[in-house]
Homo-oligomer: A and B are copies of this chain.
Amino acid sequence: MARQFACSSAHTVAETKQGKLRGYQLDGIYAFHGIKYANAKRFQMPTQVEPYEGIRDALAYGYVCPMLNQDVPNMEIMVPHRYWPMDENCQYLNIWTPSLCPEARKPVMVWLHGGGFSSGSSIEHVAYEGDQLSSYGDVVVVTLNHRLNILGYLDLSSFSDKYANSANVGNADMVMALKWIHDNIAAFGGDPDNVTLFGQSGGGMKVFTLMNTPEADGLFHKGVIQSGVLDGFLSGPTDGKAIGKALLEELGLDESEVGKLETIPYAVLAEAYNKVSPEVEKAGHYIGCIPTANDWYVGDPRKVGFTEHAKTIPVMIGSVFGEFDFTPAIPGRKELSEEIVLEMLEKKYKGHTSKLVSQFREAYPARPLIDLLSVDPFFRIASRDFIEKSVQERQAPTYSYLFNLDFPLEDGKAAWHCSEIPFIFHNTDRTALYNIPGVSDRMEEQICSAWVSFARWGSPSAVCLPKWPACEPGKEYTMIFDRECEVRVNHDAALMETLKETDPKLPFLPAAEGEEDEGFFLH
């Protein structure tokens, strides 16, 4: 049935500090796409947008940041993508809101996209569209693009003061977006004093790196870290001398010519970086593409602790059951004989199998044993550590969740990396595989309600969910989102301890000498 639409300079215009913007309204939700929140020269800190006269259109998503490599289209049924024209001048944000009344003061939810710090965009996943979350939750939803990979995170500070913070300008873009939100979101019905960051994978890492960024203090008030805590991903204080030198040499430049890196075409720069960086990394050096501790960024809280301000931010942290298990679903997996399953398990877990089997059955009694092959150790082990540290060191509450749904692919496949996102955004109807009659609507209501409650009040409690306490020292209360949601305490502690002993290897880390590189890229 036809939806209610309006787009006019009389009815769908919002006034920002820079000038007026024309968006559109659909079924009661106003949308503004492609708002320029900052400008920036390559490797340099972002600057404010100049004021302008008249009305500008905010009716098209803005450029997304160029990537180091083009994506290969696959797994769309599991993680449906959107792509967009690219340009490094990519500081754009999108807003969805139920109101343009400056007194409405609705909670603001700012989504930070995944893709490590190297790829992705504010519209990469089909489910990133903010209208249905805004409508269901009566909240203002913001999504944003910022500089990525070498454009956002290549430390050239050794070569020129001009690039003093080039290692973090991607994060600096986000801080500029938060300042823009602080200054302007009231005009979109939002409350600048109630801003929640939420992000998945790299987006989750962005949440906790921004918590430890003093310039962002006071610009956001809560954080949700979805599948964003992973060991061995973020580096400590280091410098970009080695990668910078290799890059300059590859491009036939000497150190005094570092300024030329600003003007050579991105494609040429990316090609050179892709060529030299594996060697530099093998030699044990930093190669960029992640935030680096310096005067501007305090550093990874797991290494340097939380800032005083970061301790005041309520956080929700979680991951999903299967994460990096993107292998094809196994037809008839529930009917396989225990003998065959044990054989498969032994191949993967060697001598640890029997211990793992009993611990897995305790942690996940409803799951078939074969799913022990899929259970994620990477995010889960690191998240448990992060949660415990957070509870020990911070006064603000820390909530834990685990997304444990089985999806209708073949006879069923355990939740993979990114698979909770359509539920958060109330967009399961836009992602084919996420429609499970009798199940997905209810779970969507439960999950989306929890996120919205957390954004509104700092607690994910919701009438449609069991009581959900914050974690305590030594006691991880985890909301397990599944066909029946329940809260359990330290439900997989033993399982994770044993999995740690198996020394699991991240599929996307560079292959060791002689090993095949599977080319997996973090989303």
B85 x A71 contact (CB < 8 A): yes
Cα A487 to Cα B46 in complex, Å, equals: 58
Query: Is A24 part of the binding interface, using a Cβ–Cβ cutoff of 8 Å?
Result: yes
Least CB distance from A372 to B in Å reads 23
Least CB distance from A271 to B in Å reads 10
Task: Please pick, from B60, B267, B437, the residue contacting A75 in the complex, using a CB distance under 8 A.
Answer: B60
Chain A 289-304 near chain B by CB (<8 Å), digits 1 or 0 = 0000000000000000
CB nearest to A408 among chain B residues: B5
Query: Is A433 part of the binding interface, using a Cβ–Cβ cutoff of 8 Å?
Result: yes
Task: Please pick, from B6, B9, B432, B441, the residue contacting A1 in the complex, using a CB distance under 8 A.
Answer: B441
Cα A85 to Cα B8 in complex, Å, equals: 34
Chain A 417-439 near chain B by CB (<8 Å), digits 1 or 0 = 00000000000110011111111
Chain A 321-348 near chain B by CB (<8 Å), digits 1 or 0 = 0000000000100000000000000000
B73 x A5 contact (CB < 8 A): no
Task: Please pick, from B5, B62, B76, the residue contacting A33 in the complex, using a CB distance under 8 A.
Answer: B76
Chain A 58-70 near chain B by CB (<8 Å), digits 1 or 0 = 0111110000001
Least CB distance from A363 to B in Å reads 28
- With A1-B441, A4-B435 known to touch, is A410 a contact of B76 (CB < 8 Å)? no
B73 x A6 contact (CB < 8 A): no
Query: Is A261 part of the binding interface, using a Cβ–Cβ cutoff of 8 Å?
Result: no
A2 x B331 contact (CB < 8 A): no
- With A10-B331, A83-B85, A411-B8 known to touch, is A428 a contact of B73 (CB < 8 Å)? no
Query: A124-178: which have CB < 8 Å to B?
Result: none
Cα A433 to Cα B4 in complex, Å, equals: 9
CB nearest to A413 among chain B residues: B7
Query: Is A283 part of the binding interface, using a Cβ–Cβ cutoff of 8 Å?
Result: no
A26 x B435 contact (CB < 8 A): yes
Chain A 72-108 near chain B by CB (<8 Å), digits 1 or 0 = 1111110000111110000000000000000000000
Query: Is A34 part of the binding interface, using a Cβ–Cβ cutoff of 8 Å?
Result: yes
**Which residues in B have their C-beta under 8 angstroms from that of A506?**
none
Task: Please pick, from B3, B33, B439, the residue contacting A2 in the complex, using a CB distance under 8 A.
Answer: B439
Query: Is A502 part of the binding interface, using a Cβ–Cβ cutoff of 8 Å?
Result: no
A410 x B3 contact (CB < 8 A): no
**Which residues in B have their C-beta under 8 angstroms from that of A74?**
57, 60
**Other 16 A-B pairs with CB < 8 A, given A9-B331, A57-B74, A59-B76:** A2-B436, A2-B441, A5-B433, A5-B436, A7-B433, A8-B331, A9-B410, A24-B77, A60-B73, A60-B74, A60-B76, A61-B76, A63-B73, A72-B85, A82-B82, A83-B84
